[in-house]
């Protein structure tokens, strides 16, 4: 981390938990949070659990996020949830372009771009996910993939519009596999991402944008990841479903 950027630790609960369990987990996190903690903590429950989590989080600084958002305002889009609806559910942030959405639901960079634009137009903070597959990494395509995904996601967006965007680098081969990127691999990718953001929006923007690492982040590897200068936080899947483990991730200690 770099002291000029506020770290963010985010939990993506994916398609896990029922409303009662999600509310209980949120409450445990709220209770376990160091009141003096300076960085941001975000949780992204399943849509159907947003109400329970919102209630459990009342009076807490924990940020409520959706796991996705549709780009249309309203209409015949069965299964989709609009920006206004996620705001109404209490979310201020939305995960966009997660690799599971890209891979399982066929989301292209164009779709990701529409969602980015819709979220920003509603003052929702996008947590934009990018990352390469194992095949792409082995074929030395990591940088090309990241460059393409960033250019696609930010297409047509001006510097003034993207000030609050958070980027999450999540190498697909590290997600849910227990195979975390080494702090060096993550730092290397984050440096590249920051350089791309400099190309798109200039040095000041690049110096301020937060880049989270995601992919098998655990209580026992967060400390060394956070010691890297361009890792500004984490987007956590499995480990964010266990209150004690996620609280340890949230209260990381940088270890060089």
Q: Give every CB contact of residue 233 below 8 A, 6+ residues apart in sequence.
A: 1, 7, 8, 9, 10, 39, 40, 210, 212, 213, 226
190 or 201: whose CB is closer to ligand 13P?
A: 190
Q: Of 100, 136, 170, 239, which residue is the catalytic one?
A: 170
Q: Of 93, 98, 100, 136, which residue is the catalytic one?
A: 98
Report the distance separating Cα 115 and Cα 71, nearest Å.
Answer: 5
Minimum CB separation from ligand 13P for residue 23, in Å?
21
**What's the count of helices (H) and strands (E) in the chain, helices before strands?**
11, 8
Q: Are 9 and 236 in contact (CB under 8 A)?
A: yes
Q: Is 251 a catalytic residue?
A: no
13 or 201: whose CB is closer to ligand 13P?
A: 13
Phi, psi of 128 (to 5 degrees): -85, 125
Residue 125: which of 10, 46, 223 has the closest Cα?
A: 10
Q: What is the DSSP string of 133-192?
A: -HHHHHTT-HHHHHHHHHHHHHTT--GGGSTT-EEEE--GGGTTSS-PPPHHHHHHHHHH
Q: Is 98 a catalytic residue?
A: yes
118 or 217: whose CB is closer to ligand 13P?
A: 217
The residue sitting closest to ligand 13P, measured at its beta carbon, is 237
Minimum CB separation from ligand 13P for residue 165, in Å?
16
201 or 237: whose CB is closer to ligand 13P?
A: 237
What are the residues binding ligand 13P (CB under 6 A)? 12, 98, 170, 175-176, 214-217, 235-239
Minimum CB separation from ligand 13P for residue 239, in Å?
6
Minimum CB separation from ligand 13P for residue 71, in Å?
20
167 or 236: whose CB is closer to ligand 13P?
A: 236
Q: What is the DSSP string of 21-62?
A: HHHHHHHHHHHHS-TT--SEEEEE--GGGHHHHHHHTTTS-P
Minimum CB separation from ligand 13P for residue 47, in Å?
16
Report the distance separating Cα 170 and Cα 157, nearest Å.
Answer: 22
- Residues assigned a catalytic role: 98, 170
């Amino acid at each position: 981390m770099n002291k000029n950027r506020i770290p963010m630790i985010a939990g993506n609960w994916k398609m896990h938990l029922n409303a009662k369990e999600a509310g209980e987990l949120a409450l445990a996190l709220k209770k376990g949070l160091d009141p003096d903690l300076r960085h941001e903590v975000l949780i992204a429950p399943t849509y159907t659990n947003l109400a329970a989590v919102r209630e459990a989080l009342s009076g807490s600084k924990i940020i409520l996020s959706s796991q996705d958002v549709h780009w249309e305002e309203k209409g015949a889009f069965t299964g989709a949830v609009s920006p206004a609806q996620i705001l109404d559910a209490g979310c201020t942030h939305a995960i966009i372009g997660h690799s599971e959405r890209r891979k399982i639901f066929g989301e292209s960079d164009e779709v990701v771009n529409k969602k980015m634009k819709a979220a920003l137009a509603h003052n929702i903070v996008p947590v934009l996910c990018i990352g390469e597959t194992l095949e792409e990494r082995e074929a030395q395509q990591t940088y090309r993939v990241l460059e393409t995904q960033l250019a696609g996601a930010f297409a047509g967006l001006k510097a003034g519009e993207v000030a609050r965007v958070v980027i999450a680098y999540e190498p697909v081969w590290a997600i849910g596999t227990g195979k975390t990127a080494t702090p060096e691999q993550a730092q290397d990718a984050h440096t590249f991402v920051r350089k791309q953001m400099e190309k798109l929006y200039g040095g000041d923007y690049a110096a301020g944008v937060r880049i989270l690492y995601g992919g098998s982040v655990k209580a026992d590897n967060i400390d060394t990841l956070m010691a890297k200068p361009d890792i500004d936080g984490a987007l956590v899947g499995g480990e964010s479903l266990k209150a004690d483990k996620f609280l340890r991730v949230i209260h990381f200690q940088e270890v060089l």
